[in-house]
């Protein structure tokens, strides 16, 4: 995953600096969403804690490269599961266990494109965040 990120940055002639790389590592370590200030805390464990702005700048870079997504409804960030193919951001957020699934369904994006076009709207960044229950939380909650 990290090597894929490096390959991609080299290809685009952008710099995956040590600091940006550390931020990406912290996000990827967590298999799920992580808040900006928790990233800051994790980075500050050994060395000196970076200022918020430093981490936000790294996050801006990583998002621009499509390596990280922002979950607007959670104010949190998550590593992109399949950074190789371009895609909009579609997420399934389980309100039971908090697990995040990346959806990236072409038919959803197509339906959004059609509906938007019918309104004369040119889509730039479609954002889909679906709250609900994942398979395992659903079965355990079922008898309610």
Residues forming the site for DNA (CB under 7 A): 14-15, 17-20, 35-38, 48, 50-54, 56-58, 61, 70, 75-76
Contact call for residues 91 and 129 (beta carbons, < 8 A): yes
Choose which of 12, 84, 105, 140 interacts with a second copy (CB under 8 A). Answer: 105
Please tell me whether residue 124 binds a second copy under the rule CB under 8 A. Answer: yes
Q: Nearest distance from residue 103's CB to DNA, in Å?
A: 21
Please tell me whether residue 28 binds a second copy under the rule CB under 8 A. Answer: no
Among DNA, a second copy, none, the one that 58 touches (CB under a kind-dependent 5 to 8 A) is: DNA
CA distances from 65 to 12, 38, 99, 139 (A): 9, 22, 24, 37
Please tell me whether residue 131 binds a second copy under the rule CB under 8 A. Answer: yes
Please tell me whether residue 114 binds a second copy under the rule CB under 8 A. Answer: yes
Q: Which string of b and e fits 30-55 if b means at least 16 CB within 10 Å?
A: eebbbebeebbebbeeeeeebeeeeb
**What are the φ and ψ backbone dihedral angles of 72, each rounded to 5 degrees?**
-65, -35
């Amino acid at each position: 995953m990290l090597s894929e990120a490096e390959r991609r940055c080299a290809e685009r002639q952008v710099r995956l600096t040590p600091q940006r790389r550390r931020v990406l590592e912290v996000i990827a370590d967590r298999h799920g969403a992580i808040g900006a200030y928790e990233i800051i805390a994790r980075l500050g464990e050994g060395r000196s804690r970076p200022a918020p702005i430093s981490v936000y700048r790294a996050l801006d870079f990583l998002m621009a490269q499509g390596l990280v997504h922002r979950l607007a409804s959670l104010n949190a960030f998550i590593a992109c599961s399949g950074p190789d193919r371009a895609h909009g951001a579609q997420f399934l957020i389980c309100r039971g266990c908090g697990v995040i699934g990346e959806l990236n369904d072409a038919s959803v994006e197509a339906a959004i494109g059609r509906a938007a076009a019918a309104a004369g709207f040119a889509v730039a960044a479609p954002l889909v965040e679906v709250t609900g229950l994942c398979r395992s939380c659903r079965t355990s909650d079922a008898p309610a």
